[in-house]
Structure 1
Amino acid sequence: MARVSTHLLSVGILIVMLAVIWWWVTYRDVILYAYLSTKEAGLCLLGRSDICDLARTLCRGTPALINYWWGTFWIGVALVSASLAIHGPRRA
């Protein structure tokens, strides 16, 4: 079980990191041109909203093929959580 837990943790962390990079590539110009604050754009990392869609649309520098999908972040979080649940608490 420890091996499965380690693999899930590794894959989960990798997916979360890729999601953050993908989010940054998509929302970088939105933040730099001040369409949204970093905090507001950060909420777009976690979910979809009309304000996120509008800001992305206004900032045409991001090609449509790489628009961030918020579900990627949550898939990574789910894998990390599953790995921690499988591994259980550490014993001293």
Structure 2
Amino acid sequence: MYVEAVKLCKLRQEQVSLKNAIRKKELEIRAMELDKMKLEMEVLAAKKQFYCARSTPTRPPSYDWPEPLGMNYSMGLEGFSSDEDESSHSATLS
């Protein structure tokens, strides 16, 4: 009876040891999966940076909005037809 109890105890220890080894391997696998995901995120970030750098607008971002109705980007200078008109108006104001 004593010998059987010792064998049973050793079998349980071996079972626990094997379960711990399995958990350790699962943890290693999860760590590798996490590393893989981090690398994939780095690749995606690099791709995003590359594609965003390729498609930079020629105008500043503030001009990317559509022009509101009735507004002009010249900010009140829409009445001037030439540089001569502009200089004559500025001369009369000073």
Shorter-chain TM-score range: 0.3 to 0.5
TM-score between the two structures when normalised by the length of structure 1: 0.32
TM-score between the two structures when normalised by the length of structure 2: 0.32
Asked which structure has the greater RCO (Cα within 8 Å, sep 6+), the reply is 1
Structure with larger Rg = 2
